[in-house]
């Protein structure tokens, strides 16, 4: 049951990210809805879920984009794992924690992506990328996290309840 719900959320986020939000950029940067979902669900469900969800969501994004297949999967899995480890120490009902986690996660995700691009031999203009893409995108992602965090928090609780109900009823 949870696989269907999380898969549907990934598909919905991909649809929003590639259609609606690419038309309305903020300072020429579009948000990364997949990363926002990975960070929020890693905060709510822990590191093992975060790495799995991050890898699957990143791979779906890579397959949709068609460039550097596997790179988003690796970076999103790393972000999901690291945020999941940090989630054990945080009070999950606080709005500031997901906001800050999404901003920091966005910056680290994009820096990892640029680092891997440099390793694969592509030229990377670091200062321009940081100024024109990473900072506006991280602010945009943080703002979106404030709008959707509470809904995803309650959805995560309902998904856990439904899974437990399905396990018990067989």
Residue 140 belongs to domain with CATH number: 1.10.1760.20
**What does the pLDDT average to over 148-164?**
91
Token pair for residue 43? 């905060």
Token pair for residue 3? 């696989």
Q: Look at the chain and report how many structural domains it folds into.
A: 1
pLDDT bin (cut points 50, 70, 90) of residue 71 is very high
**What does the pLDDT average to over 127-142?**
89
Task: Count the neighbouring beta carbons within 10 Å of the beta carbon of residue 14.
Answer: 19
pTM of the predicted structure, to 2 decimals: 0.91
Domain that holds residue 143: 2-169
């Amino acid at each position: 049951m949870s696989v269907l719900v999380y898969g549907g959320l990934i598909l919905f986020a991909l649809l929003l990210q590639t259609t609606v939000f690419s038309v309305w950029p903020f300072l020429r940067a579009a948000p990364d809805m997949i990363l926002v979902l990975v960070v929020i669900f890693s905060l709510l469900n822990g590191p093992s879920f975060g790495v799995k969800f991050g890898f699957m969501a990143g791979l779906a994004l890579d397959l949709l984009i068609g460039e550097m297949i596997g790179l988003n999967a690796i970076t999103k899995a790393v972000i999901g794992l690291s945020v999941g480890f940090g989630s054990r120490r945080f009070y999950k009902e606080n709005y500031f924690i997901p906001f800050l986690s999404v901003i920091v996660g966005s910056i680290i995700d994009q820096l990892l992506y640029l680092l891997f691009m440099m390793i694969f031999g592509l030229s990377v203009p670091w200062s321009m990328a940081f100024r024109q893409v990473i900072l506006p995108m991280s602010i945009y992602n943080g703002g979106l996290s404030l709008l959707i965090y509470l809904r995803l928090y309650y959805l995560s609780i309902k998904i856990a309840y439904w899974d437990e109900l399905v396990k018990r009823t067989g």
